[in-house]
């Protein structure tokens, strides 16, 4: 197979073989006289001259290589003609860069300071040439997003603006001067301001919407703490009152051995248990008072609002310059450092967890304590006196029967009200991750192209034989070949609220 793109503009095309111009040749002699020459001298010979060919020649004309290619490719010739510039210029240059390992000089391994901006410019030019000529660039972007950045299992995934080769070039141009100690705050701020504005647009309303739900939850917590504070104080006061009344009743009614029987003593134990349980609610009342006094839930609301404000704001130039000079932003993987949300959100969650802790203890501890107190009170109210009638008959004065299970005692105990609902808080894990993922990009080259070969043809005419060497075009398959372009990158933030088992 000849060259894919022969460096010629014209070729020789054979038109037709033809006999070389005849030349005179003596053939035979006739004795005189002859019919044609009756007056020739007798005894002499007349020579007859015959024109006879002695070889084969070829008539050729100059022809265009493009037309020869069209003739060879037929209907698909226009496709090749349209793409010939890329196939004959851009593609070989791309393979030359790959062969010299130039791609490695724009990888993320060496950091932004070591990136060759000249190579980046060449890559952008060659890639544009390939795309403009419709050779195409493929990628596995969808597969990477599906595998690594799909919001599932409770995860919230925020994708920042994608870093393509052009964005990468801008980032290098803004940061690399700092290598020589001459940082340009204007250029650095200009790049990151535009990048973060585009990122904020991609984040959209997803983050504020979630944080607004947090704010609603914390406001509800605040209302609940205030609600718990009042009734728990009432419960504790009533418990103290009931305790003094029970002791007075026992002193008046349990004279002698009237209260040593299993019925009376059992009842006394249940009353004592109910009182002790409800008195424990005094601690709950204090915890609720402390939470309300310190406005913990309201502090959580304000802290969440600060996160929203941070996500919508862009730092000044000094913030970015300090990141570069301190080495915190020296390679592509560090791009998250420029997004304040990557540090603000985890810090805020830690602070919110500290504010939530006493409220969560109040919420988780209140429900079982309430259930226990109610159960103890119900046991007092539902005590089976009919099983212990004989013990009551021993009370000739009637005080035991009238005073120990007195209606006022039962009423006071049954009025011990506790909240049966827990606050809408379920302590869980906040899982967080940020970074970048990359996806591969490539161009596949496979198409019908004109190929050239030398042909040796045999010609025969009027008994003459000869060979002719010519160049011929024919349709052949080029490829498959692959150009691997530098990766593109997607910075991300993802998190979820809930158990690690979910």
Distances (CA, A) of 197 to 16, 140, 177, 464: 72, 26, 24, 83
In the three-class reduction of DSSP (H, G, I as helix; E, B as strand; rest coil), residue 457 is classed as strand
Q: In 18-116, where does DSSP find H-type helix?
A: 65-73, 77-85, 91-99
What pLDDT score was predicted for residue 86? Answer: 79
Distance (Å, whole) CA 267 – CA 259: 10
Token pair, residue 401, equals 């029967």
Token match 């001459």: residue?
Answer: 182
The pTM of the full predicted model, rounded to 2 decimals, is: 0.64
Higher per-residue confidence, 283 vs 321 = 321
What pLDDT score was predicted for residue 248? Answer: 59
Q: Is the pLDDT of residue 10 over 70?
A: no
Half-sphere exposure of 365 (CA within 13 A, CB side): 17
Query: What is the DSSP annotation of 140-195?
Result: -HHHHHHHHS---TT-EEEE---B-HHHHHHHHHHHGGGGGT---HHHHHHHHHHH
Distance (Å, whole) CA 81 – CA 447: 12
pLDDT digits (tens, 9 = 90+) for 242-257: 555 555 555 555 555 5
Most confident of 48-62, 395-409, 410-424: 48-62
Q: Compute the C-alpha angle 240/241/245, nearest 5°.
A: 120
Q: Is the pLDDT of residue 1 over 50?
A: no
Q: Is the pLDDT of residue 402 over 70?
A: no
Nearest to 119, CA basis, from 490, 486, 440, 487: 486
pLDDT digits (tens, 9 = 90+) for 203-225: 877 788 888 888 887 777 777 66
pLDDT digits (tens, 9 = 90+) for 462-477: 777 778 777 777 777 7
List the chain domain ranges. 65-182+437-502, 208-427
In the three-class reduction of DSSP (H, G, I as helix; E, B as strand; rest coil), residue 393 is classed as helix
The chain-wide mean pLDDT, for the chain, equals 70
What pLDDT score was predicted for residue 203? Answer: 81
SS3 content of the chain, % helix, strand, coil (to 5): 55, 20, 25
What pLDDT score was predicted for residue 414? Answer: 33
Higher per-residue confidence, 492 vs 355 = 492
Contact (CB, 8 A) for 301 and 216: no
Confidence of residue 160 (pLDDT cuts 50, 70, 90): very high
Q: Is the pLDDT of residue 63 over 60?
A: yes
Enumerate the β-bridge partners of residue 138: 442
Q: Is the pLDDT of residue 399 over 50?
A: no
For 204, other C-beta atoms within 10 Å of its C-beta total 10
């Amino acid at each position: 197979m000849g060259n894919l793109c022969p460096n010629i503009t014209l070729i020789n095309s054979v038109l037709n073989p033809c006999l070389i111009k005849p030349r005179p040749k003596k053939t035979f002699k006739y004795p005189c006289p002859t019919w044609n020459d009756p007056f020739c001298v007798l005894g002499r010979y007349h020579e007859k001259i015959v024109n006879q060919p002695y070889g084969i020649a070829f008539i050729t004309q100059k022809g265009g290589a493009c037309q020869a290619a069209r003739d060879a490719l037929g209907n698909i010739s226009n496709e090749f003609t349209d793409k010939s510039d890329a196939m004959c210029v851009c593609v070989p240059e791309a393979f030359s860069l790959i062969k010299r390992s130039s791609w490695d000089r724009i990888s993320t391994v060496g950091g932004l300071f070591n990136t060759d901006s000249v190579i980046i410019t060449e890559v952008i030019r060659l890639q544009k040439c390939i795309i403009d000529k419709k050779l195409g660039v493929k990628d596995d972007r969808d597969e990477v997003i599906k595998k690594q950045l799909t919001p599932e299992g409770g995860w919230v995934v925020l994708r920042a603006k994608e870093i393509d080769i052009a964005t990468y070039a801008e980032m290098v141009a803004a940061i690399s001067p700092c290598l020589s100690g001459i940082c340009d705050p204007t250029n650095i701020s200009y790049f990151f301001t535009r990048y973060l504005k585009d990122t904020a647009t991609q984040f959209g309303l997803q983050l504020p919407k979630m944080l607004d739900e947090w704010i609603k939850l914390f406001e509800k917590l605040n209302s609940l703490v205030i609600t718990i504070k009042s009734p728990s104080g009432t419960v504790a006061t009533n418990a103290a009152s009931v305790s003094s009344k029970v002791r007075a009743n026992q002193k008046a009614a349990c004279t002698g051995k009237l209260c040593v029987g299993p019925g009376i003593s059992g009842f006394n134990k249940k009353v004592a248990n109910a009182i002790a349980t409800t008195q424990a609610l005094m601690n709950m009342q204090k915890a609720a008072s402390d939470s309300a006094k310190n406005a913990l839930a309201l502090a959580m609301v304000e802290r969440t609002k600060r996160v929203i404000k941070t996500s919508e704001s862009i730092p000044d130039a000094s913030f970015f310059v300090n990141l570069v000079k301190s080495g915190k932003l020296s390679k592509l993987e560090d791009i998250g450092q420029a997004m304040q949300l990557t540090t603000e959100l985890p810090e805020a969650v830690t602070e919110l967890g500290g504010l939530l802790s006493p409220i969560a203890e109040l919420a988780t501890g209140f429900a079982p304590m309430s259930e226990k107190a109610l159960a103890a009170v119900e046991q007092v109210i539902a005590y089976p006196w009919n099983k212990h009638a004989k013990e009551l008959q021993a009370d000739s004065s009637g005080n035991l029967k009238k005073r120990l299970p007195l209606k006022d005692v039962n009423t006071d105990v049954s009025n011990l009200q506790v909240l049966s609902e827990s606050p809408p808080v379920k302590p869980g894990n906040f899982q967080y991750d940020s970074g970048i993922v990359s996806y591969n990009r490539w161009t596949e080259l496979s198409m019908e192209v004109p190929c050239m070969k030398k042909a040796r043809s045999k010609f025969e005419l009027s008994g003459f034989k000869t060979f002719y060497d010519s160049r011929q075009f024919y349709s052949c398959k080029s490829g498959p070949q692959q150009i691997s372009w530098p990766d593109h990158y997607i910075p991300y933030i993802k998190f979820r609220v809930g158990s690690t088992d979910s």
